[in-house]
Amino acid sequence: MRGPSALSLSRALTRRPHHLHHHHHRALFTTRGQRQQQLAALLTSSPLNTPKRTYSTHPPNAKLNLPTDYSTTPLLCHTTTTALTNPELPPETRNGTTKRMNLFQAVNDALATALAEDESVLIFGEDVAFGGVFRCTGKLAETYGADRVFNTPLTEQGIMGFAIGAAAEGMRPVAEIQFADYVYPAFDQLVNEAAKYRYRDGACGRSAGGLTVRMPCGGVGHGALYHSQSPESLFTHIPGLRVVMPRSPLQAKGLLLAAIRSNDPVVFMEPKILYRAAVEQVPAGSYELPLSKAEVLKKGDDVTVVSYGQPLYKCMAALEQAERDLGVGVELIDLRTIYPWDKETVLKSVRKTGRCVVVHEAMVNAGVGAEVAAVIQEDAETFVRLEAPVVRVAGWSIHTPLSYEQFNAPDVARIYDNIKKVLGF
């Protein structure tokens, strides 16, 4: 966090804004009875005689834009059987046991596994030794020592420069950027040093391939300008980097272990809204899931929906409703690695369905959706099968507003409408 502690941030977030007028200040110091009278007056003065909703929560009569029910979604493995039947798991893992975890616990489990299995793994970042803001590194410093899990000063460029140097000397550093919104001071180090190191060193053989950079990303409903950004497309423009975003705890553990063991620098982006919300059975053993390999989550013949990260849950809700209403079959694909991404899986699906909707939370301009759409229309075999233009459903080209954050990210209704749109073209 920016500042000395998470507690200070909590206090700052609850502190009244400095721009309030004097009469607003006085209102904050009234008695309980006076506050009740003020509330009653506010309610009776409202044309509808109803209180205003906090932020941009769903209205009580919503039919599509309902909160995601993570306890029932088919995108999560709610039983041990469903978790262990994943064909991508190695045989020894499929014959093992599972443990119920949320996403931050799965990240912690992956980090602990990496530390235990490989002495060259280091973990560092702001407040990492204390467990981190989201508790992803809890108890790792106590278990594996302060020389392998440690705090850094509040300097993203310093964190990244140190990590690149450690990777170049044969270590496998896992550097944490506390929020993806804070990565920009480290952008030069990632783009001009980490990504280019192997090419620049040539036959000398050194690289920053052991580097993994973790960062929480995406909106939570009230993060506003500096705690809600999704900057993944900035890194997908850079050869030499892998960019990964998991959708669930099981995926997060396997993909993070693969990233740490990979010989390429990996930007590992974790949707922070899923840290506690997404809970499923996760294999207890050590396992990897393939990088740069998409996963078909649901088969369908009429429309292909491509997404990654948290929007997949909204896509699932939208396509389930579309299938009930329209009598169609929708195929859902999770890219997982968004650079270099699995073109063949997507192209094969679109050749079958003839229609494609790409969904992501990041801004629509120059985003992952634009790249997917371009690749589809550039492939002659796929282009001739298109029955409708490729559609992008993404964040608007604006800064994330505090009170209207939910209206910026794609919601179920927008995805549903665009599925209907490509079917009716």
Q: CA dihedral defined by 380, 384, 385, 391, rounded to 10 degrees? A: 80
In this structure, the number of other CB atoms found within 10 A of the CB of residue 10 comes to 11
| 3-class state of residue 272 by DSSP | coil
Question: How far lies 216's CA from each of 31, 135, 181, 231, 243, in Å?
Answer: 41, 12, 9, 11, 13
Residue by residue, DSSP assigns 148-187 as TEEE--S-HHHHHHHHHHHHHTT-EEEEE-SSGGG-GGGH
Catalytic residue, chosen from 156, 270, 288, 361, is: 156
Question: How far lies 304's CA from each of 28, 350, 364, 396, in Å?
Answer: 52, 6, 18, 22
**Cα–Cα–Cα angle for 110, 112, 116, nearest 5°?**
120
Query: 100, 127 in Cβ contact below 8 A?
Result: no
Q: Specify whether 58 is catalytic.
A: no
Catalytic residue, chosen from 126, 227, 331, 371, is: 227
The two beta strands, 337-339 and 242-244, are antiparallel
> Roughly how many angstroms between the first and final C-alpha of the chain, as a whole number?
47
Residue by residue, DSSP assigns 375-408 as HHHHSHHHHTT-SS--EEEEE-SSPPPSTTHHHH
Helix (H) or strand (E) holding 103: helix 103-117
Q: Specify whether 24 is catalytic.
A: no
Closest Cα partner for 126 from 166, 156, 147, 106? 156
Helix (H) or strand (E) holding 233: helix 232-235
Instruction: Please give the single-letter amino acid code of residue 383.
Output: F
At 105, list the tokens: 């616990």
Report d(CA 135, CA 111) in Å as an integer: 12
Catalytically active residues are 156, 227
